[in-house]
Amino acid sequence: MSVRIIPRLDIKGPHLVKGVHLEGLRILGLPELFAERYYQDGADELIYLDQVASLYGRNHLAEIVSRAAERIFIPLTVGGGVRSVQDIQALLRAGADKIAINTAAISRPELIREGSRAFGSQCIVLYVEAKQRAPGSYECLTDNARERTGLDVFEWVQRAAELGAGEILLTSVDREGTGKGYDLELVSRVAGLVDIPVIASGGAGDVAHVQQVIDEGCADAVCAASLFHYALTDEMAGALQPERFTEGNVEFLKRALPLTSLGRRHINPIRIPALKARLWNPVAQSA
């Protein structure tokens, strides 16, 4: 039972959002309500990723994390737009425990070394957005999968581990938001290349996918967003108050659209306690 189960909260402005392939972001509600529920449900950690910070500069992220850290006492990983040791320090001060870095680490790999020297390796999470370019070949993308780098994922994760990264958050851009399952080849190859823990992300649509990425992908931790978020949207409906959201894609909130109407046919949402019960006690479940 050592594999960690980690909800991922994608943040845009003050909102919790979710897209497909990191695009087409749809507002799901208030991140603090989801985060609090995940904490009560026994999430092992939480990951916050600001989806636009790299493009438009930091806005609400530190504030969201700061509110969460006063009430939620599990590790909080935070990323999006982190460019310097000062940015890392600011997010740690706000309440983050680990900082996820993608774009800035690729443009200046020394940031990984500087961050791990200053705050410890356990603090620095390499965030990888992996896009398949040919069978067995993956390229790192940056800026929420908007920019190509030409950098090979397998070379980069090894380099980053040598520079002092403490964990790797590995997102398959191709699978992200689709519910079609994790990219097992991608995850298992990275997990075999580095000694640091690998957090698999992108594609979880049901319990079987999570089981697969643990058994076949050899993931040390499992991250999912849609799988958990959509299990809460009914419960949160009363608290969501779509009129509070003045900008962005709020159609989902206003119309309470079923998942199937929006191309989420592949997602069978589940709450964390039920997921854990089925992963760790399959016999009890079938009895």
Question: Which spans of this chain sit near another protein (rule: CB under 8 A)?
Answer: 1-4, 39, 42, 44, 69-71, 73-75, 92-93, 95, 97, 119-123, 166-167, 195-197, 220-221
Q: How far is the CB of 88 from another protein (least distance, A)?
A: 10
Catalytic residue among 129, 167, 176, 220: 129
Rounded to a whole number of angstroms, the minimum distance from the CB of residue 14 to another protein is: 22
Minimum separation from the CB atom of position 168 to another protein (A):
11
Q: Which is nearer to another protein, 28 or 169 (CB)?
A: 169
* 57 CB-near residues (< 8 Å, 6+ apart): 81
143 is catalytic: no
* 10 catalytically annotated: yes
Q: Please identify, using beta-carbon distances, which residue of 48 and 245 lies nearer to another protein.
A: 48
Angle at 171 between CA 170 and CA 176, to 5 degrees: 160
CB nearer to another protein: give 176 or 220. Answer: 220
Q: Cβ of residue 118: shortest distance to another protein, in angstroms? A: 10
Nearer to another protein, 124 or 240 (CB): 124
3-state secondary structure labels for all residues of 189-210: HHHHHCCCCEEEECCCCCHHHH
Q: Give me the residues paired with residue 126 across strands.
A: 101, 168
Which amino acids are annotated catalytic? Answer: 10, 129
